[in-house]
Chain A
Amino acid sequence: MIMQIARYQWTRTRRWWPFPAAVIISLAAGLIPFLLGDTLISNTMTGMDVIENARNFLPFAMLAVMVASALSINRETDEGSDDLLWVLPVDNTALILGKFLGTLPIAGLAFAAFTIPTGAAVFIEWLGSGLPVWYIASELGIMALWWAAGILSAAVAAGFLGMLFRGLVLYVFILVPWVVTPVVVVMGIDFGYSGDYKNMMILWQLADWTTIGSELTMPMARDFYALLPYIGGIIWQKLFYIAMAGLILALAPRLIKRHRIKGGSMDKGYMIAAMAAAALLIVSAGMFYEEQSIGYDKARSETDFYRNHYAAYFGEEGASPADEDTKLPPLEDIIDPPLYIERYKLDIDTTKPPYLKIKAEFTLRNTSEKTIDRPVLTLRHNFDVASLTVDGQTKQNTRDGDWVYIEGMTLKPGQSAEVVMEYSGLVEEWRVHDRVPYLHYFVTDYGFMLPADYGWYPLTIQAPLGNLFGHRSYGDYPYYSLDEWDTMLHYMPDIYGSEVPTPRPDEQKSGQLVAQDNDPAWEASIIDPWRRPAYFDITLRKGGSYEVVTSIGEIDEQGGSVHAAGKGYYLTLLGWPMDEIKLGVDTAYRPMEYDGDEGIYPATVMRDSWNWLGISGKTARTAIVPFYTYSVIDGEQGFFIDNVEVLGYDSRYF
């Protein structure tokens, strides 16, 4: 009976204008990203870019489906035939579900119309990329889940509303959630750094029904690998809305009883279906909470670490360091670090993600004119030092924040020592940016991101690594923000006051204790921890078949082992599935879905800049990574990282 009713409901639905209108609007919404050009996110597209762009227009398809479904499911009320319908001796469940099923093809065809352009574009991006079949299947799968959850839930919710209301009231009920959701999400709610912050933010994300807020995904997750850390949250949020649609469907015969006596027992099958949908709704909400909590909790934990160890510097202005706070060194040691490492030999093991294991051999020299007891090195606090030898003798170490004190060691002025340090730790740094957590530095199955400023190898500047040297770009400055939950420290001047020299960038000269272009985070850094070059000799074992990029030079890969050596002011390591393009002596790495000249622009520009200025002997290594990262443009080391191609020439290229 249900299917017979559904068949005629569908006949009635397809013969009325809202159905083709919804499909055409959905098709148009799916085409808009392409009609507007590919400038919405980047000048070159990946499959995830296509999905990300299309997501912005999903709400329009949802609205069209809502209006069409709400009007079509209960046309009898509009044409005055409902008295004929509702006295028929048909079971209420069969009638209601039949009407829903007969209207759902609107959602199905609108889904297809919206999906075909985006799906085709995603597929075209994949073709010839060398990415595996499971990759495109996963991309299309998550896209289909995303669109289906939105459009299906829109159709069912609107169908339910359409059975209850008509006219202006109906449109209000349709438009209010459609408008309110994106408005609330786009505006965002600042809940501060209170304990409730996480709960409110997750609730806010869960309520992002149209997902116009873009708040579920990591900023600029431009390939599926980069989406993987967040995919659990996305899937559960989508299942939540599918469960909601299921629950509405299961309860609709119970709740919509036009000209039917109230009460009565509920069919056992539908009761089970309703309970299953309710269970999925609760479970999906719970799992979404759990998934989203991971990032928030880890970001919070990291933030709290720096709050606990460096409270005075993160706290309110004028606050004095508490006794338990980690003590910062005197300013002169920040301006001119007394220790210097001129040679590193690093044996890096990334085969057991998310852990990183390193054996670091380096020469530590006292460049100051005073004897140093208990020399201190800076190493990210999440690494545990397993063994430490100095000139072959085992030494103890003491941890304090991001610092490692070598106990029982003394370095006289000008004295050097050979240090061997083995350490390991979990590299999985989450941050909250724009109120949403994302993974910033990581070692995973599908790649790793190890910037120098993460402190993954021993440094001689004694400063907290809470993104001290990162996040510096035009118009954006490091700060400790309760909204951002970043582990960023104030500028050194904020800590040390006006004693820190602050010449303008155009007054900076080589050798001054001010920012140099070789700063990996490059911009406006008053204290330059990278001003002394070192020789790096690295051996890296990797767990996947991805490309490895270093800031120091070309790699030599044999089997699963990567070797590189070279001189540089810092060492940043990146591993990711990318295309490697040889451009003479230069190398450009780019997302695998790029083709032609896409993604080689930074290397080309850097080379042009050197040619114009007569700079020779350098090689460029540029990488467009398909995940969000702070950009590095370093003409000194010929190194570039960003998640989009930078347009225009820049003094930092040379």
Chain B
Amino acid sequence: MDISFENVSKVYRKGAKALDDVSLHIPSGVFGLLGPNGAGKSTLMKIAATLIEATSGRIKVGGFELPKEQHEVRRILGYLPQEFGLFNNLTAYEMMDYVAIMKGMQDNVKRRAEIERLLEWVNLTDVHKRRVGSFSGGMKQRLAIAQALLNEPKLLILDEPTAGLDPEERMRFRNLLNRISADRVVILSTHIVSDVAAGCQRLAVLNRGRIMLQGEVEDLKRCAEGMVWEAEVPSHTDIEALPDAVTVSSRRDGDRLYLRLLAKQPPLADARPADPGLEDGYMALITGMNGGDAR
């Protein structure tokens, strides 16, 4: 089971080019799709989820060609859109039942057991008789994840799945993801690097409709090799004015400011080189930096 995009482009009616000649191979396992807002991630996900058609290019999902064999793809698909509403005037159980029926789960006993198991997984068992419209954002997100998992989809597309989840729910989701990732393709589209770091074997970075990188997690880290610096400066320092440096993170402690920076040369006199992390690699890639001295 794998997915391949070959020279896929998507141009919307008003001329906006969301994807530009994207070629990507997604094998089994959890695959991270990173990119800033507006990079084209959701467009790519919607194409894979059969919701929109590519303007050009070739897409194959587990041997099925899109859009021609979209119905076959839908049979193996679980989808969580980035922005979604739920069937608000159904209860959580009813909504799961409705979706399960439409996913072809006709055996009443098995369907009920599957729904109860998933509601348990997403910690919604206690509220399964409540109407979805009364749910909080986090509960809705969990229910949406649960419906995507119905009928054990071979392809699971999760577009920004952790948005709206509190830290505990996020941890729970990551554990869930690790449990279900065997023998299936899970595409995790996100702009949160830590989500990818937590469970993805492979990833791709998309920016302005183009693939910037695809490969192992370590490949992304390597993008920042030699460019990661740590420094400690007075808290009143104007870090925006640092020449040719990108601030990856900053932490204030009393009157001191601890910085993690990307730069080819030491951005401050007492800057120390550091080992690159995923976030550093992502920032380096997005900002177009490469080849520094911090080794």
Question: Does A88 contact B90, Cβ atoms closer than 8 Å?
Answer: no
Question: Does A89 contact B84, Cβ atoms closer than 8 Å?
Answer: no
B contact face: mostly helix, strand, loop, or mixed: loop
Interface string of A58-88 (1 = CB under 8 A from B): 0000000000000000001001110111111
Quick check: is B98 within 8 A (CB to CB) of the other chain? yes
Question: Does B90 contact A11, Cβ atoms closer than 8 Å?
Answer: yes
A residues near B89, Cβ cutoff 8 Å: 11-12, 15-16
Question: Does A5 contact B101, Cβ atoms closer than 8 Å?
Answer: yes
Quick check: is B68 within 8 A (CB to CB) of the other chain? yes
Quick check: is A200 within 8 A (CB to CB) of the other chain? no
A8, A83, A85, A89: which contacts B75 (Cβ < 8 A)? A89
Interface string of A82-121 (1 = CB under 8 A from B): 0111111110000100000000000000000000000000
Question: Does A80 contact B85, Cβ atoms closer than 8 Å?
Answer: yes
Quick check: is B88 within 8 A (CB to CB) of the other chain? yes
A83-B81, A87-B79 as given contacts; A261 in contact with B70, CB under 8 Å: yes
Interface string of B47-88 (1 = CB under 8 A from A): 001111100000000000001101100110101010111111
Quick check: is A394 within 8 A (CB to CB) of the other chain? no
A15, A79, A88: which contacts B74 (Cβ < 8 A)? A88
Quick check: is A259 within 8 A (CB to CB) of the other chain? yes
Quick check: is A320 within 8 A (CB to CB) of the other chain? no
Question: Does A8 contact B83, Cβ atoms closer than 8 Å?
Answer: no
B residues near A83, Cβ cutoff 8 Å: 46, 49, 51, 79, 81, 84
A4-B101, A5-B101 as given contacts; A87 in contact with B49, CB under 8 Å: yes
Quick check: is A189 within 8 A (CB to CB) of the other chain? no
For the complex formed, measure the closest distance between the CB of B278 and the CB atoms of chain A, giving whole angstroms. Answer: 29
For the complex formed, measure the closest distance between the CB of A79 and the CB atoms of chain B, giving whole angstroms. Answer: 4
Question: Does B67 contact A81, Cβ atoms closer than 8 Å?
Answer: no
A1, A8, A84: which contacts B86 (Cβ < 8 A)? A84
A residues near B84, Cβ cutoff 8 Å: 80-81, 83-84
A residues near B88, Cβ cutoff 8 Å: 79, 81
Quick check: is B147 within 8 A (CB to CB) of the other chain? yes
B residues near A11, Cβ cutoff 8 Å: 89-90, 94
How many of chain A's residues touch chain B, expressed as a range?
20 to 34
Question: Does B79 contact A84, Cβ atoms closer than 8 Å?
Answer: yes
Question: Does A79 contact B94, Cβ atoms closer than 8 Å?
Answer: no
A-B pair number, CB within 8 angstroms: 80
A88-B102, A89-B102 as given contacts; A79 in contact with B70, CB under 8 Å: no
Quick check: is A504 within 8 A (CB to CB) of the other chain? no
Question: Does B85 contact A86, Cβ atoms closer than 8 Å?
Answer: no
Quick check: is A268 within 8 A (CB to CB) of the other chain? no
B residues near A95, Cβ cutoff 8 Å: 102
A residues near B90, Cβ cutoff 8 Å: 8, 11-12
Quick check: is B233 within 8 A (CB to CB) of the other chain? no
Question: Does B81 contact A84, Cβ atoms closer than 8 Å?
Answer: yes
Bound CA–CA A261/B68 (angstroms)? 7
B residues near A76, Cβ cutoff 8 Å: 85, 87
Bound CA–CA A11/B68 (angstroms)? 33
What 15 new A-B contacts, CB under 8 Å, besides A11-B94, A86-B51? A1-B102, A8-B90, A12-B90, A79-B85, A83-B81, A83-B84, A84-B79, A84-B86, A85-B102, A87-B50, A88-B102, A89-B103, A90-B104, A259-B51, A261-B67
Between A and B, 17 residue pairs with Cβ closer than 8 Å are A1-B101, A1-B102, A11-B90, A12-B87, A76-B85, A76-B87, A80-B84, A81-B87, A84-B79, A84-B144, A87-B49, A88-B102, A88-B103, A89-B75, A95-B102, A260-B70, A261-B53
- Cβ-closest 8 pairs across A and B: A80-B85, A89-B74, A79-B85, A90-B102, A88-B102, A81-B85, A15-B89, A83-B81
